[in-house]
Amino acid sequence: MQSFSTFKLTQKMGVMLIIFALLSANFVAVGTVSQKYCLFNKYVAATKNDEQWFKHTQVYNMVAFAPDDVQSFHVTVNGLWNGFFANNLSSPFAFGRYLESLFSGATYESDEEFVETQHEQGLLVPGTILTTQGHYSFQGDKLEEYACRSINDELCYWDKNAESYWMNALNDEFIDWCIQHGKKAIDAGADLIVLDEVQGSGFIPMYQWASQYINWLNAPGFSNCTTEKFRNYLADKYNSSELQQLFNIDNLSNYDLRVRIAQTMYLTYVERVAMDPLNREYFTFLEVGNFQAKKRLIQELKKYAKKT
C-alpha cells in the first residue's frame, strides 16, 4: 500500500493516460451481464443475458472501494488500478486482491476466485497491465533484461520508494510479457483490460530533462535495444548522403548515437530540436515505436479474447 500511495501521490511528472481495451471480436467488453450479476447501481439496465454492459452507464473508480462505499457511490467497475503490484503477487489483479483482503479479511487462492467473488457481489472486474512500470514481483529475473537503461547502462527507477523501474516498450520481449499478463486476466474472467502508463517511451524526453533535478532518477532511453532500433529506423528512412547532409553522420553503423542524444538531454523539447535536428527523429522514433508496441499488445489480446 505504501509503494502505491508514494507513486500516485508524489510523482510530479507526466499525466497518467489510461486506455480501456474492451475485449471481444469487436474490441469491446467480454460477455454480457446476466441477472446473476445484477449491478448495485440501480440505474444500470444491463440485467438481461442479451444485453452488453458497456452499452449502459457505469460508475468507475480508480482504487477499489470497500463494499459499503461501493454501494454508497453506486460503483459498478471497482478498481481500474487493480493490477498495480502489491503483496508480492504477479497478477493483473494484485492490488485489487490486496485491498479486498484488507476490507473483507478474505484470502484468494487464485485470480479466478477473486474475479468470481467480485462478480457475485454484482461488480464488473478490470484487470490492469502496467505497460511502462516494472517490479521484481512481476517480471522477476527478467526485469533487468526488459528494463530501460541510462547512458551509463544503469537501471532507471520509475519510483525509487516503490522500487519500481522503467520498462522498455520498444523491447519486443517485454511486450510479449505484457501480452501473457493480459491473457491471465482474460482467463480469470476479467470484464475489461486497462493499459496504464500507455505513453511509454513517449515519456522519455521529459524524464531525461527532469533527471537533472531528481538525484535518484537515471534518465532512460539508452539501452542497447533502443539504440539499435533507432539506428535501424534512421537507416530505413535515410540514405548515407542524407544522413551526412542532415545530421552530420558519416558512418551510421559505427556512429555513437547514445552520446549524441545525451549531449542535449537536459534541455527542453523545443531547445533540443532547435539545437540538433537528430533529436526530432529520436522523439518521433520513440513515439512511433511505442504506438506500434501498444497496438500489437491490444491486437493480441483482442485475438485471444475472441478465442475464449
Residue 291 lies in a domain: no
Do 76 and 175 fall within a single domain? Answer: yes
In order of 36, 114, 130, 225, the CA distances from 182 in angstroms are: 25, 16, 10, 24
For 115, list phi and psi in degrees, rounded to 5. Answer: -65, -45
Do 244 and 190 fall within a single domain? Answer: no
Burial class (CB in 10 A: 0-12, 13-18, 19+), 88: exposed
Q: What is the pLDDT of residue 4?
A: 39
Residue 275 lies in a domain: yes
Do 160 and 231 fall within a single domain? Answer: no
Do 249 and 233 fall within a single domain? Answer: yes
Contact 77, 122 (CB under 8 A): no
The residue whose grid cell reads 535495444 is 225
The band of 198, judged by pLDDT with boundaries at 50, 70 and 90, is: very high
Least confident of 82-86, 134-138, 165-169, 266-270: 82-86
Residues 39 and 190: their CA atoms lie apart, in Å, by: 16
Count the domains in the chain: 2
pLDDT value at 25 more than 80: no
Burial class (CB in 10 A: 0-12, 13-18, 19+), 38: middle
Do 216 and 196 fall within a single domain? Answer: no
Residue 301 lies in a domain: no
Domain that holds residue 224: 207-286
Do 136 and 217 fall within a single domain? Answer: no
Do 153 and 264 fall within a single domain? Answer: no
The residue whose grid cell reads 487464485 is 110
Do 90 and 223 fall within a single domain? Answer: no
Residues 79 and 77: their CA atoms lie apart, in Å, by: 6
State how far Cα 261 lies from the chain centre: 25
Residue 92 lies in a domain: yes
pLDDT tens figures, 74-95: 999 999 999 998 988 899 999 9
Residues 87 and 129: their CA atoms lie apart, in Å, by: 16
